[in-house]
Structure 1
Amino acid sequence: MLTNKQKRFLQKKAHHLKPIFQIGKSGIHDKMIGEIDSALEARELIKINLLQNTLEDVNDAGLQLAEGTGAELVQIIGGTIILYKESKENKQIEIPKA
């Protein structure tokens, strides 16, 4: 579980990132969760964009993706979800201690 200080740190790190996944009208499915999990292992911090034609609620989608990948939900802004998961083999981000 991330503290508020750690979330703010990750939000600053994610500010310049471009979303690498988009959720459209097909919604969230197992294959997408697997791909997002792989991306989290490679990058640790990612943004996901919900398109206007999606039937998913952004808050529900964020919680579903975080739970499905074992990641931490850092922030939801508009239609953008920011997820963080510490990489096992490719650690890049050093999070400040609580």
Structure 2
Amino acid sequence: MPITKKQKRHLKSLVHHLKPVVIVGQHGLTDGVLAELELTMETHELIKVRVNAADKEERKVMLNNICEKTRSELVGFIGHVAAFYRRHPDKPKISLLSD
């Protein structure tokens, strides 16, 4: 379920004060990093991730891969830090504003 622009603004306001909880290093999206992303998203729904890729195009590809492999939505990114949201299927913690 894609999120609306209004919902993205709401999520950006919530994620602003958070620190990155997962760091994607020089080896990229390894199985260990993906497992950590899954566990963290299951627990928190809304997370920040630091992506240490060499250039902007590599980062964009990596961010798209994270969205695809974790079934999450990219809320936004600035530089090397990106925010992702995935609603918990049973007990959502974050209430999204409706249009």
Residues 13-38 of structure 1, C-alpha deviation per residue, up to 9 Å, x if partnerless? 00000000111111112331122011
Matched with 1:2 is 3
Greater alpha carbon shift after TM alignment, 62-71 vs 85-94: 85-94
Q: Which runs of 5+ in 2 are unaligned?
A: none
Shift of 1:55: 4.3
- Residue 77 (structure 2) pairs with residue 76 (structure 1): yes
Aligned to 1:27: 28
Query: Aligned AA for 2:40?
Result: A
> Offset of 1:76 from its aligned partner?
1.3
1:61 aligns with 2:62: yes
Give 5+ residue unaligned stretches, structure 1: none
Contact 2:22 2:36 (C-alpha < 8 Å) held by counterparts: no
Give SS of 1:2's match: coil
Q: Structure 1 CA distance, aligned partners of 2:42 and 2:89? A: 7
Preserved CA contact (<8 Å) 2:48 2:84: yes
Identity %: 30
**2: CA distance between counterparts of 1:3 and 1:90?**
21
Contact 1:47 1:83 in 2 (8 A): yes
Q: Number of aligned pairs?
A: 96
Aligned residues of 1:34 and 1:69 also touching (Cα < 8 A) = no
